Structure 1
Amino acid sequence: MGRLDGLLLGWMSIGLFVQLAGVLFNNDDSRYATQLYLLLFLPALLLLLKERLAFGLWRQWPVYFFVVLAVWVVLVGGVHPGSEKSFWHWLKVVTLLGLYLYAVARLAWQPQRFGWVLAGAVVVAALFAWLTLYYQFGVLERSLDYAVLRRQRLETMGWNGLADLQHPIVAGLYYGVFAVLLTWLFVHWRMSVGRALLLAVAMLGLVAYVAFTFSRGAWFALGAAGLLLLIMFSNRKAYGLLGLGLILLLVAAYLFWPEMQLERARGVTGRNYIWSAWIERFSSFWLWGSGAGADFHFTFPTGSFLAGKQFIHAHSLYLQFWYQYGVVGIGLFAALLLSLLWKGWQCREQPLARLGIALLVFAMVAMVSDVYAVFHRPSPYWVVFWFPVGILLGVRKPDSAAQTIRGQ
């Protein structure tokens, strides 16, 4: 590796750290965006040009599906009369996404450097999770009564605009990603007693935060991803966590059984009405969609517990994506997901591939009932969905692990 390569990779590492954790320590969206342009997208572009577009990285089926999907998104955005914003907006979005995926994939080629970036981001996320819990329940003295917690779900620290995720669902999914990352660090890295205790404290803060968001999509996604990750590693630490997790679940069920029954009684919180409306309108959009970024307008009917409330999305990424981009769009999106899972499975002996699979499963479960959009400007949803996509693009199959990209 040349000196310039090392400089650009180090520059991108800082940018990736900011992209993952910067949502927490920035209280200004424009400042966060500026940091990403200067610290992530710019060095990614420079390295991509230096490596002559890095064709060795792009020759894989998931990339082909992503490129075709991106072209379709841009075409729908530019041609469909129902699309929000212009052709150039969607071209900018997919261009930034391409640079982001390249940056993550390229850094994943250096697992040690990549691991330290992830560890740094996890430390920041755990710190802000604990600071939020302390400020909300220690300083502001928020009640721990179930009814109050359910009504005032966690979504922000509440101080100076820091760690403000703006919605409990977004907050639960965002911090849930870091809980999965922390689990991976524990089962993958060598652990001393002191390090294990620190990780346990960090995990307690992250899980408590996710729990207090009452984002059940995040709960199920975290459970599915964590279980899959531990099964894939199948070492003594993983078995120990599985046993501990089972014990804690049984204890929680015993202590909070009435609250769990109340959660079960809530069902899907009115999503059944929205999904029924989606089915009723299916014939009007199934083929070509309603346009890139188009809102799915729905008002809850009289007699429902949310009567009169209006929503602008289908409360399922899969349904929303089909609504916006039609059968071609959802078909390409499904092909991208399946190709990523298949590649991850082929590379499952590699620790990063296991992490990528677990995080992608986290996103796929979350997208059943949550996640507003994936083709949009940088946001926490990039951490939830596109980050694992980049990891899986970066892991290399055993028969090609020795190959290097042109110019390296």
Structure 2
Amino acid sequence: MAREALSAIKREGLMGVIQRYDMNPSLSRCWVWILAFGIFVQVAGELFNNDGSRHAVQMYICLFAPSLVLLIWQRFALYLWGNISGLIFFSMLLWVFFHGVMHPGSQGGGGYWFKVSLLICLYVFSVATLVRRTSKFNFFLLFLVAIVAFFAWWTIYYQFGVLDRKFEYNAMRFADRFSELGWNGLADFKHPVVAGLYFGVFAVVIIYLFVGSNINVFQGFFLALAAVGTFGYVMLSFTRGAWFATLAGIILLLILFPNRRSRYLICLVGLSLLVAPFVFWNELQYEMLRGVSGRDTIWRSWFERLPEFWLFGAGAGASFNYVFDYDSGEYPVWHAHNFYFQLWYEYGVFGFALFLLLAASLLVKGWQCRTLPLARLGLALMVYALVAMITDIDSVFTRPSPWWVVVWVPVGILLGIRQPEKQKSDTGYATVAR
């Protein structure tokens, strides 16, 4: 066997042998499932794991190691990065790396920032590669939705049925916001904001599966049940950033899928928005009085300090420290409670501009490819992330976290989609648009 391989290399050259095996359908299908399992370990692992170090080991073995092998095998997937969005994405990661190495205010050494940049690259590459197999990616999304919806319903049952939480606005708003299952450390996101935004992603995905795919009555019932549980979790997290982001993502999806199901849902959403002020008038008044929960004072402090860091930032991973001075004591925070402000604070105007250019280029690409269902999903999830970043999300240039699901998944989807006229046969990874 080794002798045959050597003779094939002499005859066709190493790249020729790699390309021939790369086009092998059975081998390609094998890689698809390997990557799908690795992404599942990262995404669903946020629900199953109560040990961060164990989750990290699982991701290195199941996701990052196979992704690195495939990336090298694919000759570094130049077909994926050789476009405007891909070049901006790489430029942004290079800026993060060199900023982390050279800026005196950066937290962590060069090894840490190289690892973070590499892991983000491998994660986006994995999502983009899986997206190129549309039917398998849709099945993968359906499987993830089933897991997430199960945990959403389980949390609702356990919180109210076992822990006997009060189903009252005051109790839930101030003491019992959803952030964990409450049993054995499962689905513990540590904070309601993180939990609400994580589940909000799948609320958007459920609507995509409902209006953007051919489903039967049983599947429709399943998605409706999943939607009730997932939307219920998002609402009970009382994360208003997740509320508005979910609403923005869903409205965009319904506009991009002009069919009978979407029209029914548009009517349902519109009716809900009209009825809600009458049913929840007192609660809405209180939410409006809360405003942005003190974020305005943090943002004011950010503007006051802007001359100190506007050009090169305070350093990768630097904390934006602010202290609320209440009668009951001081309450410190460590980030700007606005991703765009925090990004500028850490990486300066160049890092901020590169991220905005990446988001803009991906939105343009998604719009150009909007005839593809997955492009519409990518657009909706990207809008979801961009809206959520206004009030929440502290940093995405870190080791794997739930924020990766919110931000890097839509980046991977939009990088992975191809113009319809450029799509080739789906028999292997070598048959891609050049």
TM category (shorter chain) comes to over 0.9
Per-residue displacement from partner, 1:283-337 (whole Å, max 9, x unpaired)? 000001000000000011457xx86211000000000000000011101111011
Aligned residue number for residue 180 of structure 2: 156
Equivalent position of 1:318 in the other structure:
340
Which of the numbers 97, 101, 107 marks the counterpart of 1:84?
A: 107
Encode CA deviations 1:149-194: one digit per residue, 9 max, x unaligned: 1112110001000000110000000000000010100011223222
Within a 5 Å distance, the mapping from 1:244-393 to structure 2 comes to 244-301=268-325, 308-393=330-415
Task: Tell me the amino acid that sits aligned with residue 309 of structure 1.
Answer: Y
Tell me the equivalent position of 1:179: 203
Correspondence 1:52 to 2:75: yes
Verify the 8 A CA contact 2:179 2:191 in the aligned structure 1.
yes
Q: Secondary structure of the residue that 2:330 maps to in structure 1?
A: coil
SS at match of 1:308: strand
Structure 2 counterparts to residues 173-212 of structure 1, below 5 A: 173-212=197-236
SS of residue paired to 2:64: helix
Shift in Å at residue 96 of structure 1?
Answer: 0.6
Provide closer, same or farther for how the CA distance between residues 365 and 299 of structure 1 changes in structure 2, counting only shifts above 3 A: same
Residue 263 of structure 1 aligns to which amino acid in structure 2?
A: E
Aligned to 2:124: 101
Q: Which residue does the alignment assign to 1:227?
A: 251
Q: 1:221 to 1:307 in 2, by over 3 A?
A: farther
Q: Give 1:368's aligned amino acid.
A: I
Aligned to 1:289, the other structure's residue is in SS state: coil
Of the two, which has the highest radius of gyration?
A: 2
Deviation of 1:36 after TM superposition, in Å, equals 1.3
Q: Deviations over 1:25-45 (max 9, x none)?
A: 112112211221121112212
Alignment partners' CA distance in 1, 2:72 and 2:296 = 48
d(CA) in 2 for partners of 1:184 and 1:80?
A: 42
Partner of 1:40: 63
- CA drift of 1:352 comes to 0.3
| Match status 1:22 vs 2:39 | no
Q: Please point out which of 125, 146, 156 is paired with 1:123.
A: 146
AA matched with 1:196: G
For 2:88, the equivalent position in structure 1 comes to 65
Measured after TM superposition, the shift of residue 275 of structure 1 is 0.2
CA distance in 1, matches of 2:235, 2:134: 31
**Per-residue CA distance 1:198-224 (angstroms, 9 max, x = gap):** 211110110110001110000000000
Aligned equivalent of 1:240? 264
Q: How many residues align?
A: 406
In the alignment, the residues of structure 1 paired with residue 124 and residue 167 of structure 2 have an alpha-carbon distance, to the nearest angstrom, of 41
Contact 1:104 1:387 (C-alpha < 8 Å) held by counterparts? yes
Measure how far apart 1:4 and its partner are. Answer: 2.5
The residue type paired with residue 271 of structure 1 is R
2:191 match: 167
* Residues 63-121 of structure 1: per-residue CA shift (max 9 Å, x gap): 11111111111111111111111111011001011111111101101001111111111
Q: Contact 2:319–2:334 (CA<8 Å) still a contact in 1? A: yes
Q: Separation in 1 of the partners of 2:431 and 2:215?
A: 37
Is the 8 Å Cα contact of residues 347 and 353 (structure 1) preserved in structure 2?
yes
1:31 pairs with 2:54: yes
Which runs of 5 or more structure 2 residues have no equivalent in the other structure? 1-22
Deviation of residue 397 (structure 1)?
1.3
State how far apart, in whole Å, the 2-side matches of 1:104 and 1:60 are.
17
Q: CA deviation at 1:372?
A: 1.0
Shift of 1:407: 7.8
Residue by residue over 1:231-277, the C-alpha shift from the partner in whole angstroms, topping out at 9 and shown as x without a partner, is 00111111111111222233332221110111011000000100000
Note if contact 2:166-2:172 (Cα within 8 Å) is conserved in structure 1.
yes
Paired with 1:113 and 1:28, the residues of 2 have a C-alpha distance of 30
Partner Cα distance (2:263, 2:112) in 1: 48
Distance 1:147 1:371 in 2: 26
Do the aligned partners of 1:21 and 1:124 also contact (CA within 8 Å) in 2?
Answer: yes
Q: Which amino acid aligns with 2:216?
A: S
Q: Deviations over 1:354-406 (max 9, x none)?
A: 00000000000000110010100101000000000000000001342238754
The 3-state SS of whatever aligns with 1:159 is coil
RMSD after superposition: 1.5
Separation in 2 of the partners of 1:372 and 1:67? 21
Distance 1:297 1:165 in 2: 23
Query: Where in structure 1 are there 5+ consecutive unaligned residues?
Result: none
Which whole-Å CA distance do the structure 1 matches of 2:191 and 2:263 have between them?
Answer: 34
In the other structure, the counterpart of 1:146 is 169
TM-score w.r.t. length of structure 2:
0.91
Paired residue type of 1:124: I
Residue 394 of structure 1 corresponds to which residue in structure 2?
Answer: 416
Q: Contact 1:54–1:405 (CA<8 Å) still a contact in 2?
A: no
